[in-house]
Amino acid sequence: MNRVVVTGIGVVSPIGSTIDRFWSALVEARSGIGPISVLPTERLTTTIAAQVLDFEPSQHFDAKREGLLDRFSQFAVVAARAAVRDAHLDISEEIAPQTAALVGNAAGGQNSVDESYYKLYGQKSPRVHPLTIPRWMVNAAVSQVSMDLGIKGPAYTIASACSSGTHAIGQAFQLVRTGQAAVALAGGTEACLTVGTIKCWEALRLLSADTCRPFSKTRSGLVLGEGAAMVVLETRDHAMARGAPIYAEILGFGMSADAGDIIAIDPDGAARAMRAALVDAKTNPQDIDYVNAHGTGTALNDRIETIALRKAFGASAERLAVSSSKGVLGHSLGAAGALELAATALALHHQIIPPTANFEEPDPDCDLDFVPNTARNAPIGQAMSSSFAFGGLNAVLVMARA
């Protein structure tokens, strides 16, 4: 079995679309959550989101290409290009058939959906844009990434709601570890900030009216976000041979299904995925120093996730440092796990634990060390990144310092 390392990271995020800006905002707990400005809000109750405000498609695509890509595909392509540059990787004709591309996504091209339905039902148009389906389809992002970079190996989309990005990176890890791919580009993307999508989330009554406060007693719900993160994975031998930078090593991947409620997280299911990741990594609970939690900021999720951590880690939970990135990034659904995996890799690389932003008051039901508001310099040998999705689909990755 090959050892697998992360050699490149690319992000498009509400806190910046370079690694330096992304990381500094996470460390400084500078939130990307703010008033909605990328779409009309007259029909919305929700007034806040974590938006990507510094993204101009014309800077990345010519007019013809831009028209072929929904916003979620644009994010994926730009993040993928950045990850490949960061890894100093040349996807040559020789290596292209041995390179995989896996992209997680929950909602597909929601901007294209909203636009077509508005024309059809709102404006009574007899037709919609002829490229609506190629822009909308959930696999559009990975297809566009493969075409943009000339990737000719295994390429597919994973759609498991909020675990999509983590599932995609975990599956890519397995492809490289077993030798089915020499290199893999993997991550998640989402552009779900449309009137129709937000109205659907409002109906669930899970959205916060002010901000996201994971694990804080005063938490009031999640905040929708958007963005993308892509990572380059390759064997450690391949990376060393070409002198590539290495951020972290992926040790193990665990998955589970709750087989229970369609919305509510099950602590047993979440704990099974964490334990499976530890077993796959051939490591022990006491060896994990940091967990980047799912931490959505809803009353139920954060309490149940705390229980799950205690179930998975036992007595070792008392010494864990745990933080959620969603107070800074919002919840970008299918991209969330990928952005958080990038944050975890950077934490290992810099030996800094990013804090849980917007933390106001400890909750007796969330009684672990959630690193409130201030980053912590600490030795991190191994770390975990967890995602728990609607539908009870759980994915967890374990990583180590390179």
- Closest alpha carbon to 393 in 324, 328, 331, 333: 333
Residues of the chain with pLDDT under 70: none
Residue appearing with tokens 């040998």: 381
Domain ranges of the chain: 4-241, 253-401
Give yes or no for a contact between 119 and 269, defined as CB atoms under 8 angstroms apart: no
Distance (Å, whole) CA 232 – CA 10: 9
Write down the pLDDT at residue 218.
98
Write down the pLDDT at residue 359.
98
Distance (Å, whole) CA 187 – CA 185: 7
Distance (Å, whole) CA 225 – CA 138: 18
Question: Mind spelling out the 3-state secondary structure of 139-194?
Answer: CHHHHHHHHHHCCCCCEEEECCHHHHHHHHHHHHHHHHHCCCCCEEEEEEEECCCC
Give yes or no for a contact between 340 and 388, defined as CB atoms under 8 angstroms apart: no
Write down the pLDDT at residue 155.
98
- Closest alpha carbon to 280 in 179, 389, 170, 181: 170
Q: What is the CATH number of domain 253-401?
A: 3.40.47.10
The single residue of 162, 192, 212, 366 carrying the catalytic annotation is: 162
Write down the pLDDT at residue 7.
98
Q: Specify the DSSP element, H or E, that contains 350.
A: helix 336-350
The single residue of 238, 294, 349, 366 carrying the catalytic annotation is: 294
Write down the pLDDT at residue 120.
93
The single residue of 167, 238, 331, 349 carrying the catalytic annotation is: 331
State yes or no: is 192 an active-site residue.
no
State yes or no: is 162 an active-site residue.
yes
- Closest alpha carbon to 60 in 145, 139, 122: 145
Q: Same fold for the domain at 4-241 and the one at 253-401?
A: yes
For domain 4-241, which CATH number applies: 3.40.47.10, 1.10.150.20, 3.10.400.10, 3.40.50.2300?
A: 3.40.47.10
Write down the pLDDT at residue 164.
98
Sign for the CA dihedral angle at 290, 294, 295, 301 comes to: negative
User: What are phi and psi for residue 377, nearest 5 degrees?
Assistant: -75, 120
